[in-house]
Structure 1
Amino acid sequence: MKLGLALGYWGSGPPRGIAEKIAAAEDLGFDSMWTAEAYGSDAFTPLSWLGARTSRMRLGTSVVQMSARTPTATAMAAMTLDHLSGGRMVLGIGASGPQVVEGWYGQPYPRPLARTREYVRILRDTIAREKVTSPGPAYPIPHPGGTGLGKPLRSTLHPYRTDLPILLAAEGPRNVALAAEIADGWQPLFYAPRNDAQHRSSLAAGFEERGGRPDGFDVVCMVQVVFDDDVEAAADRVRPFLALYIGGMGARGANFHYEAFARMGYEDECARIQELYLGGDKAAAMRAVPTSMVEQVALVGPRAKIAEELPVFRDSLIGTMVVDGSPDELRTLRDLVG
């Protein structure tokens, strides 16, 4: 299992010490670094800026919001960064949810799987430097209206690689199967290695549709790791994140993160967390996250406990475990993973 550094997206501004953390990860032999975006800092700008400080790590997005850019614009950015980095770009994309897609990007959300399939097809054609055409319906190229003067074009930029990896973020069973069918990797957000039968089944269905698992297919997963002699104190540092995603990152009946934990057997807990969070009591929503739920998807507690539990993650579907921490914590994780 390889290690990646999670850079995520920002709140009020760039996190302090980020340059030192990236330098430590590169020195420790980390395989990659990963940025993200939602409705604040974007994924490509910090990846370019901070990636320029590195010489070896792969530069990945986890994830680029599909609704933020047309597929050709996403391909342009990825191809450009692939050139600048000497072929180290990894493009992770995701469909997000209706609150962000419609509420922030002003794009329609329905039929996310069909849109994803169309988006990836255009990405691949663009990166292969084909003349890009698409009948739509989500991304018709050339545009069927307007002046009528649009014509199929190919990128003026010759790709550094025509096989630039495209990864798909997915949580629901059908979307996970789609990742196995059309992408070069899968990016789960909340993956429970002890409770992954549904994921294995979905991936198998996608690979069957594809005609087999392609070489190099990677599962890139962020795993929160918190070292603390007090297990509950460590879990407390993860609870706000889970409460936000289960309770607030989606509406009632349309929250994929909620559904991911409900499939793990936490349906009652998810309902309570969402009720509290949407009711405005975020502190109570955090307290409602049980430690067992945290331990499904994260590694928390003393070093010895994390060392004991780490093989469950190392021997799972995960090929690249994306983590965060201080330079010393990154070193400890490198030593534990081996």
Structure 2
Amino acid sequence: MTIPLTDPLTDVPGTARALRDAGYGDLWSAETARFDAFTPLVAAAHAVPELGLGTAIASVFARGPGMLAMTAAALADLAPGRFLLGVGASTPTMSEGWHATPFERPLARVRDTVRFLRAALAGERVSTEFETFAVRGFRLERPPPVPPPVLVAALRPKMIEMAVRESDGLVLNWLSAEDVGTVLRVAEKAASDVPHVAARIFVCPSPRTDVVRGAARRLISTYASQPAYAAFHRWLGRGDLLATTWSAWEAGDRKAATAAVPDRVVDDLIVHGSVEDCAEHLGRYVEAGVTRPIVKLMPLDPERDLMADALALGAALGRATAPGPVRA
């Protein structure tokens, strides 16, 4: 489950305990403009020492390599053996508009950062001239007792191929259960083993289909019109379905772009319906090859309570997967 579910951050320990009791096995964070990727996990680390923790994702453009390594090492020290570090390029809007860092050569920057992190988190002294940055004489004063696996957010073939060759796995985003196979076919051609396949899955357990679809269209039109996600969905075969949305977006007509998102696309990318329907739908991601389905509950229906939905979904997932633990 993605945390935090509610504000403020002081709610996180109690939320984390409730999610553990509901059967969830991992807690993951996101990073946009709400909270950073690490602090919510720190807030949860002592409250639920038996649960896994992960970032999905920390941007390689938001921090320098050394700071990213130190922050990851600190969390790995708090949660030895149960932290996964997900990194990625994020978007030009965040990199350049929010973090004052040029969004240049994202694939190479992610690759170089992964190479640096794997060496640094293993306790090595790093003095290397990478293609996109140089590090001279960096060594963690306290390397983590168990170096965390490093996962890479990947959308298209070149990043997918690099990720499975250089890192410990993938973080996927904004895709359907059926799309997972398309991604994994590329991954499996590039590497014989992909230990971790995490996927952020957007979920709204609500029977009010029209309400959910209406709110989801606004979200999808915004994300799917960003260049990287537009290219991703063209590659996945949604070019014809989203063509009208993209044309309206480029013309500056956000209302028309939103209205043009087809129901089929919403239903592909947003898990919604009854709690039992959502649990069944999440199971299809696992069947397709996702090893860590990361639920991101979305407030698309204002009548829903996120915490109540999280607990109900945990119970439904437990019924669907009994007797094993839920890995959401």
- TM value normalised by structure 1: 0.82
Q: Structure 1 residue aligned with 2:149, among 155, 158, 165?
A: 165
Q: Structure 1 residue aligned with 2:114, among 120, 128, 138?
A: 120
The offset of 1:194, in angstroms, is 1.9
39 and 299 in structure 1: CA distance in 2 versus 1, 3 angstrom threshold:
closer
8 A Cα contact 1:33 1:60, kept in partner:
yes
265 and 8 in structure 1: CA distance in 2 versus 1, 3 angstrom threshold:
farther
Q: Residue in 2 aligned with 1:231?
A: 209
195 and 138 in structure 1: CA distance in 2 versus 1, 3 angstrom threshold:
closer
Distance 1:9 1:138 in 2: 36
Q: Residue in 2 aligned with 1:265?
A: 237
Distance 1:104 1:306 in 2: 34
Distance 1:38 1:227 in 2: 23
Q: Residue in 2 aligned with 1:218?
A: 196
The offset of 1:156, in angstroms, is 1.0
The offset of 1:303, in angstroms, is 4.4
Distance 1:308 1:102 in 2: 39
Gaps of at least 5 residues in structure 2 are 298-305, 323-328
SS in 2 for 1:7: coil
Gaps of at least 5 residues in structure 1 are 143-151
SS in 1 for 2:116: helix
SS in 2 for 1:168: strand
Q: Residue in 2 aligned with 1:89?
A: 83
8 A Cα contact 2:180 2:290, kept in partner:
no
SS in 2 for 1:101: helix
Distance 2:186 2:163 in 1: 9
127 and 305 in structure 1: CA distance in 2 versus 1, 3 angstrom threshold:
closer
RMSD, matched Cα: 2.6
The size of the alignment, in residue pairs, is: 310
8 A Cα contact 1:8 1:37, kept in partner:
no
Q: Structure 2 residue aligned with 1:100, among 94, 97, 101?
A: 94
Tell me whether 236-245 or 180-189 shows the greater mean CA deviation.
Answer: 236-245
Q: Structure 1 residue aligned with 2:123, among 125, 129, 151?
A: 129
The offset of 1:313, in angstroms, is 2.0
Q: Residue in 2 aligned with 1:243?
A: 221
Tell me whether 301-310 or 217-226 shows the greater mean CA deviation.
Answer: 301-310
Distance 1:284 1:181 in 2: 41
Letter in 2 for 1:41: F
Tell me whether 318-327 or 177-186 shows the greater mean CA deviation.
Answer: 318-327
Q: Residue in 2 aligned with 1:6?
A: 2
C-alpha offsets along residues 133-174 of structure 1, whole Å, 9 cap, x if unaligned? 1112322122xxxxxxxxx24211132113x11010111111
SS in 2 for 1:296: helix
Q: Residue in 2 aligned with 1:145?
A: none
Letter in 2 for 1:120: V
The offset of 1:75, in angstroms, is 1.2
281 and 57 in structure 1: CA distance in 2 versus 1, 3 angstrom threshold:
farther
91 and 288 in structure 1: CA distance in 2 versus 1, 3 angstrom threshold:
same
Q: Residue in 1 aligned with 2:57?
A: 63
SS in 2 for 1:321: strand
